[in-house]
A and B are shown apart, each in its own frame.
Chain A
Amino acid sequence: MTEKHSPLDQFTIQRIFEMKIGNIDISLTNSSVMMIAVLVILNVFLIYATKRKSVVPGRLQSIAEMSYEMIYNTTQSNLGNNGKRLFPLVYSLFMFILLCNMLGLIPYSFTVTSHIIVTFALAFGVFLLATIMGFVINGHKYLRLFLPKGVPVFLIPILVPIEIVSYISRPISLAVRLAANMMAGHTIIKVFAMFVVTLGIWGIAPLLFIVVLYVLETLIAFLQAYVFAVLTCLYINDSFHPEH
């Protein structure tokens, strides 16, 4: 018991296989191993689950169909007719984040989405896509997003910077939300796990608490993936209709 464990140790990135191209470090880390595992599991699962295509779906097939239907409904209700075009993007984002979150809950595994750079990369991709699509579809009229209709003239110099700050903060808000939720949950679980060891026989109390926390964390893992998908839809919807 003498060795020190920080509750944040679980987030350290370890190099498993060192690689370098010039000065750029492209080592295989535990984070990238997790991401590759997620992609492999996702593809194998979806291909295997939809292989039989029975009318009455089995367990695996109904999981695949339920996730598909849920995201399909979300894209339809948020994006309308454009939803079909963006469904593949939203679905892959949702499944990737969901599986990262869920696999991170397994003890000794690594939570990829607890690192803000990973979530920021995903969020910034969405942000770039929305911005570029907005300018491609609407041209310079996309800038109307920063100037809502029916605003008095004297309010314009105040409202435009506010809208610009609010627009730039979108990807950061997306990234921070996901990463902070995952990191906070895992840290709390680890802290309570340390209580279990130090309290001896009374450690049963924090142990029971961890069980409850795990249920909550599973819910959060799912919800965060869903929230990411919904907000992706909302932000992309702005590039179709910037007037609102």
Chain B
Amino acid sequence: MSNKKKVDDINNSLKNLTKKIDNIKANNKYENNKYQNKQFNGFSHAFKIVSDLFANILVGGAIGWTLDYYFNTKPILLIIFLIIGFISGIYTSYKSTKKLQNIE
């Protein structure tokens, strides 16, 4: 009689323990992933914006300069494409920021 009770007790406590471990595991994994991703997303976003602003203006200037060189319209296209590059830099940053907001 007492033996059976003991076995039941042990079984019950084992079940409880398994539940607890599962709970902790689930919570941990979820939170770890979330935290990690958020943290890194912020960093990569910051680095992305800085270099995007720079690279867009550079590419705009390069396109404008090349087209000027071929069409002999010395400063006009360079100016236009520099402005386009500047706008597209801000536009790209705006888009990626919006995407980040949607994720969070």
Chain A residues at the B interface, C-beta cutoff of 8 Å? 70, 73, 77, 161-163, 165-166, 168-170, 172-174, 176-177, 180-181, 223-224, 226-227, 230-231
Chain A residue nearest to B58 (CB atoms) is A172
Asked whether B85 lies within 8 Å of A177 as measured between CB atoms, the reply is no
In the complex, chain B residues 1-46 whose Cβ is within 8 Å of any chain A Cβ: 33, 36-37, 40-41, 43-44
- What are 10 inter-chain pairs, A to B, with CB distance below 8 A? A77-B37, A165-B63, A165-B85, A169-B56, A170-B55, A173-B51, A181-B47, A227-B47, A230-B41, A231-B44
Q: Which of A170, A180, A227, A231 contacts B43 (CB 8 A)?
A: A227
Asked whether A224 lies within 8 Å of B92 as measured between CB atoms, the reply is no
In the complex, chain B residues 71-104 whose Cβ is within 8 Å of any chain A Cβ: 81, 84-85, 87-89, 91-92
Q: A166-B89, A169-B92, A223-B47 are in contact. List 14 more A-B contacts (CB 8 A).
A: A70-B36, A163-B88, A169-B56, A169-B59, A169-B60, A169-B88, A169-B89, A170-B55, A172-B59, A176-B58, A226-B44, A227-B43, A230-B40, A230-B41
Q: How many of chain B's residues have a CB under 8 angstroms from any CB in A?
A: 27
Report how many A-B pairs have Cβ atoms within 8 Å. Answer: 75
Asked whether B58 lies within 8 Å of A177 as measured between CB atoms, the reply is no
Chain B residues at the A interface, C-beta cutoff of 8 Å? 33, 36-37, 40-41, 43-44, 47-48, 50-52, 54-56, 58-60, 63, 81, 84-85, 87-89, 91-92
Asked whether A173 lies within 8 Å of B48 as measured between CB atoms, the reply is yes
Q: How far is the CA of A163 from the CA of B84 in the complex (A)?
A: 10
